Structure 1
């Protein structure tokens, strides 16, 4: 996700939403994106809801220092945001809490849900990847605490919850009473 929450007008969906998704590759942080903003320095990928595009950073540092499973999870997380857009979750989340004291909480729950959706997708295709379980265990350790995405332990919890469920039914972070900070 881009670092700044959108305004309600920016999230309004047309009556007939296209499911079409595109990808844009960037070679460096700070470059202009189709979101109308510069690519953030602390991100691997972002989802632009206005153009339904996943923008992915792919440069020599990423290719030499990051596991392919981390890159796979990053794209899956952003695809989770696309699912949130298509289902109306993005719009409902922002319209409900736009510029209220609960905005930060809603933002974290939104990001943790995208992470759970990422885990659900990875879990659903895991056998076809022919990777050991230890690779997924290592993936859960690659995150750090971020105010927008929650504590690393909760990020890992929701990634694992989706992975184990292999579907989106386990990903209602908005109803969760815990593991959302």
Structure 2
């Protein structure tokens, strides 16, 4: 894999992260399902998963950039496994609605495991770390830059809604209202 292809692959991975963040954000706004603290942690870890590809697009592919994403994916898998185990008992309805038979945190676990496997596979291609002399713009081109800004925008929107939901204190275990938007505050 050449450096140019690696940049394109990193941009595609950012679009995948953006899709996950947008789906979670849509469930929050359209279905009125406020995320629990573990759900918020998983969103943060998905945003952290994007740091490696963003750095690869900006500075070129490096093993250390992939390692940062790999660490975020492992932490995300741990957090989502914790939430799956909280709701594994028979008769437990789970938290939030299900999508194709699985709750969002189960899909997130699958996503983080897929990210771990894909990151490990991408690290097998050493040629991406060599300068291939291609006339690639220093920031990866418009396709890659759009992916970077899309993830940054969705992350910022999630931060704003988290602040609205939790206020300046600890988030509720089972949130039902945006704390900063309550009447009389």
- Asked which structure has the greater CA Rg, the reply is 2
Higher helix content, 1 or 2: 2
Structure with more relative contact order (C-alpha pairs < 8 Å, separation 6 or more): 2
TM-score (norm 2): 0.27
Higher strand content, 1 or 2: 1
